[in-house]
Structure 1
């Protein structure tokens, strides 16, 4: 990693942050929820828009396993990992013998590992469920990162994990909830697509469900690689990144592939999602009113809902929540910025999940 290049990125980040310190009061409703977040998001946009892949790794760490080990050590909580036959790992937050398990796929454009904010959000979610008397734990997949491991490597690992939980551990699908943020939401949908329409790559394990999963939660799901949605303009000053980052990440993720219905969910027509209610009893889609991906998320909701209802499912079992002025995966960024208490968006997800356990 070029130290000179990183200094240049840091200089741009500092400059953008300093400028926003003075201009934030002029942004009005176009900016983030509060002054602190508005200033921090300006710096994040500058940083994320200018980093290279090696620089991202240098700042974020090499793997989700590294992030997890540091997180549990810092929190003073026990760490426990599951290693699959391929060597792929998944990590527990909570008791691995818990009755209800939340399988989580992290975001980061498939190109960077999870982060402490993501882990903090998941730990708080687990603690909230346990405090309500539920036997509940979170299992976080460490998938291989692009661009070294392009699509469909991550789908192969997600399918392997699900196959293991169902066929080896013999867990009842009704005790499993699945979800993810951003690229993790993309991966959740890719796994559903694979179960409904087995992927043509024979190396991806087949997955079958004897009954629907308890629920699926998609936080700011990355469903479209199109950068021309109007929300990229209207939310340009309220989100944590812009199209520069997404273009770099989608290119790294797809590699030589042109993409398909598994890698870019919005390209699938509504009929593709018929039968989804046989895989999950309910779906929650969360989007931030201030995120650049919002228009794509809304369009996806209407498309998947058409398939959901036409397949014979109740429309009310597919829910979308758009929290005003919230950035991309706001509840995770909220924790990443050091907030010790849950944001309203985090509490809304807790409440939704609690009602379904």
Structure 2
């Protein structure tokens, strides 16, 4: 099966009545053909051109219905069955999300998948992964699962744990933060009995926001979930993949990259409206909430004081609409070196850097998930993430 056929069937298999009309396919092929000068590999360009064409033509409501026909857990289980992977699903107790009276948050579900090459002799390192989708869409297992498994392999993790969180608008902010805290606490206190030092956090887009939300809660507890006592320990690492860090959309990259990325300003505003974050709270608005500087100083460790995580990476694509906000978060709060990378960059430059950001030339929003779906393993962002994780 060709890559284009595989992509078309996967993105439209849930609703045979909404397969792209000829106009979509023509626009897709034209977009692919006209970007020959792009620094992206042809597989990357093919996936991006299709998504942009589909989103330009297929009504948003139809896309939403299709995406929600297969929820996160269903997608993970189906993917694992197809690939012969063993998945263990754990439904947390209802009491795990009942800290704040009157806050309606369902107990989350966790999905455990053994990492490639893991054995009984593997260490305890575990990757806790939060998927993107604007807090509105479920995880796309065909891209997210293989991407997360590559991350787990890079850092020597024995397993990946996916959080299946409740979706907005049915469950707006702060439901996902409450569930993330419950998931983290379960890894420490449940059957896994992990140490804080065993855990690597990673997430993309809204999932990157949730990585930050959880770290911020660990450093400065929110009123929505119980504080977590780390007992002086720090998480092994955190990876923010193209994170959603700012709630407004007036950054210049929303205009300059509108012609390249598949995410755009109207979509970002729609996600925000449905998630309904409290913009003055750092657990939602990571970059420019009033308390952001103080909270991130505590989270990342400043003035000789330990933080809550030992190492952190922020990635972005130079052609994505969120690149400005990603870079601003990294500059103001991560305060690590910015590495601008392309296919020829020697990524050993990341070695020895505990806090670092990487802007990947020509790549778009959450490029590694698109690459993983297409079976392409040489994307700049994916290689940068893998290089960083090999050092944790």
Partner SS for 2:329: helix
Structure 1 residues 62 and 170: CA distance shift in structure 2, 3 A: same
> What does residue 311 of structure 1 align with?
none
Unaligned 5+ runs, structure 1: 309-314
Structure with greater contact order relative to length (CA < 8 Å, sep ≥ 6): 1
1:279 matches 2:301: no
Deviates more, 1:340-349 or 1:146-155: 340-349
Q: 1:139 to 1:36 in 2, by over 3 A?
A: closer
How much does 1:57 deviate? 3.9
Q: Would the alpha carbon gap of residues 307 and 344 (structure 1) be closer, same or farther in structure 2, given more than 3 Å must change?
A: closer
Which segment drifts farther, 76-85 or 178-187?
A: 76-85
Residue of 82, 85, 92 corresponding to 1:84: 92
Give the deviation of 1:157 after TM superposition. Answer: 0.3
- The aligned counterpart of 2:52 is 45
Secondary structure of the structure 2 residue equivalent to 1:265: coil
Deviations 1:104-138 (A, max 9, x none): 10001111111110111112333455xxxx45211
Identify if the C-alpha distance between structure 1 residues 74 and 9 changes in structure 2 by more than 3 Å, giving closer, same or farther: closer
Aligned ranges 1:200-219 → 2 under 5 Å: 200-201=223-224, 204-210=225-231, 211-219=233-241
- The DSSP-based 3-state class of the residue aligned with 1:109 is coil
TM-score, scaled relative to structure 1: 0.84
In the alignment, the residues of structure 2 paired with residue 34 and residue 141 of structure 1 have an alpha-carbon distance, to the nearest angstrom, of 31
- 2:177–2:210: 8 Å Cα contact kept in structure 1? yes
Judging by fraction of residues, say which structure has more helix. 1
In the alignment, is the contact (CA less than 8 A) between 1:108 and 1:183 conserved in 2? Answer: yes
Aligned to 2:11: none
Kindly report which structure 2 residues correspond to 1:1-357, keeping only aligned pairs within 5 A, or say none. 10-11=20-21, 15-19=23-27, 21-22=29-30, 26=34, 33-35=40-42, 37-38=44-45, 40-48=47-55, 51-52=59-60, 55-86=63-94, 87-94=107-114, 99-115=124-140, 116-129=142-155, 134=156, 136-168=158-190, 169-201=192-224, 204-210=225-231, 211-254=233-276, 257=278, 260-268=281-289, 269-277=292-300, 278-305=307-334, 316-336=353-373, 338-339=374-375, 341-356=377-392
Contact map agreement 1:331 1:342 (CA 8 A) in 2: no
Aligned residues of 2:91 and 2:110 also touching (Cα < 8 A):
yes
Once the two structures are superposed, what CA deviation does each residue of 1:54-89 show, in whole Å capped at 9, x if it has no partner?
Answer: 742423534211111101001011111222112421
Report the RMSD for the aligned CA atoms in angstroms: 2.9
1:230 positional shift: 1.2
Where do 5+ consecutive residues of structure 2 fail to align?
Answer: 1-14, 95-106, 301-306, 338-351
> TM-score when scaled to structure 2?
0.77
Task: State how far apart, in whole Å, the 1-side matches of 2:61 and 2:160 are.
Answer: 29
Q: Give the Cα separation in 1 of the matches to 2:148 and 2:177.
A: 21
1:324-348 alpha-carbon deviations (Å, 9 max, x no partner): 0011110111122x22545332222
Could you tell me how far apart the structure 2 residues matched to 1:258 and 1:217 are?
23
